[in-house]
Amino acid sequence: MEKVMLVAARKEIADVTPYVAGKPIEEVQRELKLDRVIKLASNENPYGCSRLATEAVERELSQISLYPEASGPMLLQKLANRFGLESGNVILGAGSDELIRLLTRAFNSTGDEAIMADVTFPRYETNVTIEGGVPVTIPLIEGVHNLEGMLAAVTEKTKIMFVCNPNNPTGTIVGKAALLAFIENVPKHIMIVVDEAYCEYVEDSEYLDTVPLLSEFPNLVILRTFSKIYGLAALRVGYALAHPTIVRNLHKVRDSFNTSRLSQAAALAALDDEDFVTTCRQKNKTERAYLQNELDAAGLRYFPSHGNFIMVHFPDHTGDDIFQRLLRQGIIVRPGNLLGYPQTVRVTIGDSEQNQAFIAALRNILNGNDQQ
């Protein structure tokens, strides 16, 4: 064969793997010819989103030939008011995923170190690597961030520290006093990113409210999203709360129109429906208790979850085996080997019917009744 000259990619991305998303329902239906497929793989909201949000999207549809207001000033102001901040403290992203990318783009230079947990949300490591930074990973203890270990790993090269609270994939939170001490002890020239994608689900009194700390800690960045409890994952909108100087630097590296008219309109409306959020939080709590009871009854261990997902440990199976065998029964979960825990799966807490179907399918596997 003729030798072709290939265009060389940046060496920083040689070992980066594209994000492996949860398997889509449509794909599983096609491949396995199943009528009913339940997706409990991506921590989506099983109750959909607020009607106010869908109505706002419908109204906005007549405007989609026009670019949106680039920074989403109405939504910025509404978020700022809600948190007692100025709109200069807030920036929108195409999901908080994009904000992680903007943070590393703007702040992580080649050779800078970023400290994060092992295992946590994989986008921190990927984006640090893309920017030529060095991810430094500190193992979780019993599924919980080892904040003291992370502090001990600080060197003169450290630039960013990531704390995912609740942590994806384990669902655990860090203690209030421990996180406060951590934020106080991180040197002021190092950025602390607290990713709170699931904060609206948390009811534990040990959960630290980080927003009031922003005025005192100009190195603190809080990430939130409309993808989880607000149920707007497809519209791609999240936000960061931070010191105005950080926000200004993020604006420099974002795409011109990173959120759309539809996403801005939906998020604005969703903020007016507190009842929807409260109902989802309550239902999630009830369903989490149901799942945890059933797992207890099956003798399975799991990390105590504060979010809308549970990481379950299987002493006698690989996570991939459980994943495949659930899949054949029409249930998509997330195998832990993709997330760094080979003998686990992460299951999103669905609605009552979905959870019962999951438990029934799981029982089939544990009894060996699924392999005809």
Count of residues of this chain found to bind ligand PLP when the rule CB under 6 A is applied: 13
Instruction: Map the footprint of ligand PLP across residues 219-248, applying CB under 6 A.
Output: 225, 227, 233, 238
Minimum CB distance to ligand PLP, residue 6 (Å): 32
CA distance 340 to 319: 10
Q: Which residues pair with 222 in a beta bridge?
A: 194, 241
Nearer to ligand PLP, 80 or 233 (CB): 233
Minimum CB distance to ligand PLP, residue 267 (Å): 11
Name the DSSP letter for residue 145: -
Minimum CB distance to ligand PLP, residue 316 (Å): 28
Nearer to ligand PLP, 95 or 133 (CB): 95
E strands within the chain?
38-39, 90-93, 113-118, 134-139, 158-164, 191-195, 220-225, 238-242, 301-302, 309-313, 331-332, 334-335, 344-348
* Interaction pattern, residues 110-129, with ligand PLP; x per rule: CB under 6 A: -----------x--------
Instruction: Map the footprint of ligand PLP across residues 149-208, applying CB under 6 A.
Output: 164, 168, 195, 197
Minimum CB distance to ligand PLP, residue 371 (Å): 33
Minimum CB distance to ligand PLP, residue 99 (Å): 8
Nearer to ligand PLP, 238 or 350 (CB): 238
Q: Is the dihedral of CA 348, 350, 355, 361 positive or negative?
A: negative
Contact between 336 and ligand PLP per CB under 6 A = no
Nearer to ligand PLP, 29 or 137 (CB): 137
Minimum CB distance to ligand PLP, residue 367 (Å): 32
Instruction: Map the footprint of ligand PLP across residues 54-113, applying CB under 6 A.
Output: 95-97
CB 12 within 8 A of CB 305: no
Closest to 333 (Cα-Cα) out of 310, 351, 299: 310
* Interaction pattern, residues 313-332, with ligand PLP; x per rule: CB under 6 A: --------------------
Q: Which position's Cβ is nearest ligand PLP?
A: 95
Minimum CB distance to ligand PLP, residue 207 (Å): 15
10 Å CB burial of residue 41 (0-12, 13-18, 19+) is buried
C-alpha 286 chain-centroid distance: 22
Instruction: Map the footprint of ligand PLP across residues 24-43, applying CB under 6 A.
Output: 43
Minimum CB distance to ligand PLP, residue 231 (Å): 11
Count of other CB atoms within 10 angstroms of residue 77 = 14
Q: Which residues pair with 162 in a beta bridge?
A: 193
Report, in angstroms and rounded to the nearest whole number, the Rg of the chain calculated over CA atoms. 21
Name the DSSP letter for residue 141: B
CA distance 263 to 93: 10
Nearer to ligand PLP, 43 or 329 (CB): 43
Minimum CB distance to ligand PLP, residue 168 (Å): 4
CB 131 within 8 A of CB 12: yes
Name, in order, each residue with C-beta under 8 angstroms of 357's C-beta and a sequence gap of 6 or more: 38, 330, 331
CA distance 67 to 264: 12
Nearer to ligand PLP, 170 or 219 (CB): 170
Nearer to ligand PLP, 199 or 327 (CB): 199
For ligand PLP, the binding residues (CB under 6 A) are 43, 95-97, 121, 164, 168, 195, 197, 225, 227, 233, 238
